[in-house]
Structure 1
Amino acid sequence: MTDRFRQERIKNYLLNQFNLPAEQIETMIPGFITSLADHLAKLEEAFHGGDLEKLGRAGHTIKGALLNLGLHECADLAYEIEKKGKKQQGDSELERLFVTLRDTLQPYLQ
């Protein structure tokens, strides 16, 4: 999946879901990407710091941002991270979820 395709996917979702003009979507995308990068940084900080409570909150926040962009598969990963964080389940599955989400989102953030 190319970077252009990824951005087009988000644009098409916003257009279809919210019926926004293409020009408005074009101006909104950079802000969405910046916000997504900030949320991912907070998630990564909580993960590497071992703060499962903070990780759960960060997972919840990024899940909402991903749903707003139509990135449902990534939102599902964030939801699983959120649940594990809230249940204080820091295990290898949590690491796998985090790494998968981070690696999947990286191309969107470039």
Structure 2
Amino acid sequence: MGGLWNYFEEHDAIFAALVALLAIGGSYVAGVRGAKIQANGGRDQAAAAREAAQIAAEAQRVAALWTVRQVQVAECINQTREVLEATHQLYLQEPEGSDLEQRIREAMSVFQPHADAW
């Protein structure tokens, strides 16, 4: 090691060139490494954005299905009340000449697509 040090003390121009070459090489390696880190960060960010979009789309789909289900349940409850009311009236009245049977058929159509079979 001492001989190498003595050589560079005698040839300081070569030592200066070597130091400059090492600085250029080091900055090049650091730039390439920084670019790779930045590229990986960009890919990770894009993957996270894609996953967030998928989660948001699924949440929106579930919310829409929940709303549809709530509307259907409310309609079912209303039609059940209508059927109960009509059957109660049918029990109390004479069925001839009343539209109670038709009301029951219409209300039951929500539960069964072919309520005409009643």
TM-score (norm 2): 0.35
Task: Name which structure has the greater RCO, CA cutoff 8 Å, separation 6+.
Answer: 1
Larger radius of gyration: 2
TM-score (norm 1): 0.37
